[in-house]
Every structure is written in structure tokens, then in C-alpha cells.
Amino acid sequence: MNTYEQVHDKLKTLHLEAMDSILDNYIENAKDKSFLEILEYLLDQEIKNKKQKTIDVRLRYSGFPFRKTLDEFDFTFQPSIDKNTINELRTLRFIYNKENVIFLGPPGVGKTHLAIGIGMEAIRSGILVYYISTVKLIQNLKRDYQTGRLEYKLRTYNKFPLMIIDEIGYLLLNKEESNLLFQFVSYRYEHNSTIFTSNKSYSEWGEILGDEVIASAILDRILHHSTTVNIKGESYRLKERKKIRLFNPK
């Protein structure tokens, strides 16, 4: 093996994929550069590539039902949202402070979009995020409880500094189910951050959770350190449908 082949072979052994793929071209065009400059450039590319790969993997495992950023959100369509609040959330300080965020509002106003947008910011800055719908979370917790793995599972969820629990209120919970949700919320309380979305106002949570006492215990913990974004507006889906009808009148 000549030196050229050996270098590429060694780069492969060390999994320095970016360096391996750009080396030839770069060296060809870097004749006026010093050895240190070349080395630094190649290392920079490798670091960038590795960071992007980590982000890609974390995005894949985040469970997001779709990927949308905060920049893709049209705030002019939803004037009830205070942009300053979203900008503050965007700094991710709430995660460092172990605070919660709750998006309230009717269907289609962008609750899930905003939650995922913040989640994507967090992943980009190296924070582990996990998304799950309330229905799925409750299903999982029930199964974990039945198989004696609840404690273990709650500890696993706590490895995520940010979780997104989507759509509280679409499913009415019985007492056993809201008890499990209470345990989940208590476990994360003041240890981690959670973003919740709900189509129901807090005064209706008693109904959803089937028990006023558990509901207020859950709300107490969620709201103790939290930001609520109450969205009052039209459904974006409806707007898109109207637009389609406008251009395709029957």
C-alpha cells in the first residue's frame, strides 16, 4: 500500500469520514496553505460532520410526528401569540431552569408546530428531546406498570431534559390513568422540562383527568414553574382549505 492509500485507510479506521472524503480535493487546492492551516480545516470539517450526524440521529429518535421550525411559523396569522414569549422560549433558558411550557388552544392553531419548533432548537443545541402523544404515553405507562417496569421507565424518560407531551384532553382518562400521569409529572417536577399541549383550558382539566383532586395535583406541579401560551385564533388547516376552495370554486 502506498502512502496515499494508507492515509485513506487510516482515516477510515478512525471513522474520520469527512476528512477522508474531502482530503484529496482540498489538498489539491490548498498549495499555498501551511500544514497547520490544512490540518485545522480538515479537523473543522470533521467536527461539523460529526455534530450534524449526532443531530440527525437525535432528530430521528425524537419521535416528532413532523419536522417544522419556528422560522416556518407565520406569526402574522396568529396575532394572539406574543412573539417575545416565543423568542424567550427559543433561548432555551426554560430548559436550564427546568421549567415547563404549555400551549393551549383549539385544533389547528399551531400548538404542535410550536412545540416541535422549540424541540428542534433544543436538539440543535445538543439537548435530548423526546416527543410522545398523551394517548401513547398513557398506553406505555399502563403497560410498564403492569409489567413492573414503571419506575425504570420513569427514570428513562427523565434522561430527556425536554419532553413534549402532545394533546392532553383528546382522551378522557380514568382514575388509574391520571394517577400514572401524576407519577410521570411528579417524577419530572423540578428535574426536567416538559412542553404540554392541550385543546382544553385548565378549568376543564378536572374533567379530562377524571378526578378534580388528581387534576389539581398535576396542574400544581406543571404550573409551578411554567409559561402558558394561550392561542386564540383560527385553524391554519382551515385557512389552507379555504384558500384551496377559493382557487378551485365548484
| Contact residues: Mg ion, CB under 5 A | 111-112
Q: Which is nearer to ligand ADP, 114 or 185 (CB)?
A: 114
Q: Which of 41, 73, 189, 202 binds ligand ADP (CB under 6 A)?
A: 73
Alpha helices (H) along the chain: 3-13, 17-28, 35-61, 83-90, 93-96, 111-124, 134-146, 150-157, 175-188, 205-208, 212-224, 236-247
Distance CA 189, CA 181 (A): 12
70 makes contact with ligand ADP (CB under 6 A): no
67 makes contact with ligand ADP (CB under 6 A): no
Q: Which of 18, 92, 104, 109 binds ligand ADP (CB under 6 A)?
A: 109
Q: Which is nearer to Mg ion, 216 or 235 (CB)?
A: 235
**Burial call 52-69: b when 16+ CB within 10 Å, e when fewer:** eeeeeebbeebbbeeebe
Q: Which is nearer to Mg ion, 94 or 196 (CB)?
A: 196
Q: Which of 16, 20, 110, 168 binds ligand ADP (CB under 6 A)?
A: 110
Choose from Mg ion, ligand ADP, none: what does 108 bind? Cβ within 5-8 Å by kind: ligand ADP
User: Rounded to the nearest 5°, which phi and psi values hold at 109?
Assistant: -90, 0
Residue keyed to cell 398535576: 218
CB of 54 to ligand ADP, least distance (A): 25
User: Rounded to the nearest 5°, which phi and psi values hold at 197?
Assistant: -125, 145
Q: Which of 45, 62, 112, 179 binds ligand ADP (CB under 6 A)?
A: 112
CB of 112 to Mg ion, least distance (A): 3
Pick the closest to residue 193 from 150, 228, 231, 164 (CA basis).
164
Q: How many CB atoms lie within 10 A of CB 195?
A: 29
Map residue 161 onto helix, strand or coil. coil
Q: Which is nearer to ligand ADP, 65 or 126 (CB)?
A: 65
Torsion of CA 32, 38, 44, 49, to 10 degrees: 100
113 makes contact with ligand ADP (CB under 6 A): yes
237 makes contact with ligand ADP (CB under 6 A): yes
198 makes contact with ligand ADP (CB under 6 A): no
Residues of the shown chain interacting with ligand ADP in the complex, contacts defined by CB under 6 A:
68, 73-74, 77-78, 105, 107-113, 197, 236-237
